[in-house]
Amino acid sequence: QAQLVESGGGLVQPGGSLRLSCVASGLSLNVYAIGWFRQAPGKGREGVSSIGGSDGTTRYSDSVKGRFTVSRDIAKNTAYLQMNNLTPEDTAVYYCAAGFPFTFVPGFISPEDEFDFWGQGTQVTVSS
């Protein structure tokens, strides 16, 4: 059974950095794409980044482009989201998801219903 486990969240000051990890089991990251989503209090879930399964193509939403970097380690079956220059607007629960997304629009991440497996989420709080 496929499982995704996120870690690395926490409290950070504005301008700081965090790296989130997403460890996958029961599926392979060289087959499944990984999407990173976030949900702030009172808001809907927003896709922020993704990395393709077969080709490793990376995508970013306009809201994080230039600040966030997605990567993966196939040997460890783990995906990462490096988040730099964080602002209070980045405060949210961050989720990783695996699937075969097929909708690609520049500046946006594929819809969440195109991802099949989800982690439990990790809280990121940006505050002074």
Q: What would the pLDDT profile of 109-123 be if each residue is shown by its tens digit?
A: 889 999 999 999 999
Residue 84 host element (H or E): none
Q: What is the mean pLDDT of the chain?
A: 96
Q: Do residues 22 and 39 touch, judged by C-beta distance below 8 A?
A: no
Tens of pLDDT, residue by residue over 70-110, are 999 999 999 999 999 999 999 999 999 999 998 888 888 88
Half-sphere exposure of 127 (CA within 13 A, CB side): 7
Helix (H, G, I), strand (E, B) or coil at 66: coil
Task: Locate 69 and state its tokens.
Answer: 């970097």
**Residue 127 CA, distance from chain mean position:** 20
- Output the pLDDT for position 83: 98
% of the chain exceeding 70 in pLDDT: 100
C-alpha radius of gyration, the chain, whole number: 13
